[in-house]
Amino acid sequence: MGAEEQDPHVFSAILENDFLYNPAPGKHQDRHYTQGLKLICLDRGEPVPWWARTLQLNKVDDWLPNVWMEAETANYGMILGQNMYTPEDDRAASAITSDRPYAAWLYLGFAIQRRGETAGHIPVLESFELDLGVIGPEAQGQFAQDTWHHWRHISTFEGWKNQLKTEPAFGFKYGRAWRMAFSEKSSHYFDVIPNLGIDLGTVRVSGDLGVTTRLGWNLPNDFGVQTIDSPIVLSNGRERGPIGLYIFGQVEGRAVGRNSFLDGNLYQESAHIAKKPLVADFICGLGLSFGKHFEASWSFITRTQEFEGQKGNDQFGSLMAKFKCGF
């Protein structure tokens, strides 16, 4: 592959917050999944970066079999992220038993992403992600939320002392997506991207199945916009024109076996609530790309009820910024 044809390095950030769905103050804000931040550095893969060699990720890639795909490229990613969860009542200082518990999750992750084609020449992406971190006060959820609230001159929550207790945690994600279009020419304007994935570990145990549809001008030849909890790490890809603009819609269903932020701590007694085994996300948004180096999106997510007794669905927004370079 020539230098001009190589995948770019990708530096990206995903910010999710219920404020981004509807900025107007109200009960729809600061409830349940209230804030997430994920920073991703995805290398171009060749030559293999020093940190990937140190962690032997290239050796892992050599061991991975090609199952219903012929892998053509491999990219390696580093991830830093934090998620925060709160109950709806911000004034109660004592533990709340009828709503989800306070919780935060801080983690460092590593990813391998492989792209190729199926036997029928359908582009396919395969993603592996391992996240290692901590749940509890050390995850700095209270500090992050209090700082944000002070900036906005709004009241802070009173019950963070009741958050989940400190324990190490990990999560392993596997995801696969296919990009389908009528032809190479039509793929610049319309595509359909089905995906599936699993999440295993002490943080979550779940299986995902979804589909995304994009419509617009000069669609990037990647695999769509992902949320922080998606089983697929943010993908790279080369742009098809100086400016690209598209709208997208996505439906994703999830079967949940464990969710630490509802079930509570794994190794010790803690606050918890009865979760629902089936959850769905309904997502729509707008994507924009400028030349070879910048891409952004704004997504609006409605998530169905996650626990028994929950009052209504949750809604939050997601902003993604992606910077690409070839150095």
Phi, psi of 87 (to 5 degrees): -75, 175
Q: What is the pLDDT of residue 1?
A: 38
Residue holding tokens 């309904």?
282
Distances (CA, A) of 259 to 207, 277, 319: 12, 10, 24
Which domains, from first to last, does the chain contain? 3-325 (2.40.128.140)
State percent of the chain over pLDDT 90. Answer: 58
53-71 per-position pLDDT tens digit: 888 887 787 777 777 787 7
83-113 per-position pLDDT tens digit: 999 998 888 888 888 999 999 999 999 999 9
Q: What is the pLDDT of residue 2?
A: 40
Q: What value does the mean pLDDT take over residues 147-158?
A: 84
Cis, peptide link before residue 47, omega less than 30° from 0 = yes
Residue holding tokens 């595509």?
191
* Residue 212 CB contacts under 8 Å (≥ 6 apart), including other chains: 192, 193, 194, 195, 224, 225, 248, 249, 250, 283
Return the amino acid letter for 249: G
Q: What value does the mean pLDDT take over residues 31-50?
A: 87
**Least confidently predicted of 107-111, 162-166, 177-181, 233-237:** 233-237
237-289 per-position pLDDT tens digit: 666 668 899 999 999 999 999 999 999 999 898 889 999 999 999 999 999 98
Q: Report helix, strand or coil for 188.
A: helix
Decide: 44 and 6 in contact? Cβ < 8 Å. Answer: yes
- Alpha-carbon Rg for the chain in angstroms: 20
Q: What size, in residues, is the chain?
A: 327
38 vs 16: CA distance, rounded Å? 9
Average pLDDT, the chain: 89
Q: To which H or E segment does residue 263 belong?
A: helix 260-263
Q: What is the pLDDT of residue 25?
A: 63
